[in-house]
Amino acid sequence: MSTIIAQPGRHAHPEPHPDAAARLRRDRLARASAADMESALAFLSMIDPEAFEIAFTAATPHARKIPDDPGHPAEATWLLPGENLEGI
């Protein structure tokens, strides 16, 4: 009589890779537009401010820094109701 050696076969429903969900999120993020990302971050900041701060630290700081002195004084024109902008 021959010996039967059980060989492990493929599972009917294999367990997903632990990083599968992260990969799907990464792929979805790569397809998102800037408006989609802005909406998602705005939503995240409303539902979980701490997660928003954590996610925002992953972004690299902006290379553009707002200058301390833009080179000219700020100008403002106040219009009262009924005043015409053309006269200025």
CB 52 within 8 A of CB 45: yes
What is the count of structural domains for the chain? 1
Q: Residue-wise pLDDT tens for the chain (88 aa)? A: 667 777 776 666 667 777 888 888 889 989 999 899 889 888 989 999 998 888 878 776 665 565 565 666 767 777 777 777 776 6
Phi, psi torsion values for 76, nearest 5 degrees: -140, 145
**pLDDT score recorded for residue 50:** 92
Determine the structural domain holding residue 55 and report its residue range.
22-59
Inside any domain, residue 5: no
Residue 64: predicted pLDDT: 55
Q: Is residue 37 part of a domain?
A: yes
Taking the chain, what is the end-to-end CA distance rounded to the nearest angstrom? 106
pTM beyond 0.75, yes or no? no
Asked if the structure places residue 73 within a domain, the reply is no
Considering only the C-alpha atoms of the chain, give the largest distance between any 2 of them, rounded to a whole number of Å.
Answer: 108
> Residue 13 has what pLDDT?
64
Tell me whether residue 6 is in a domain. no
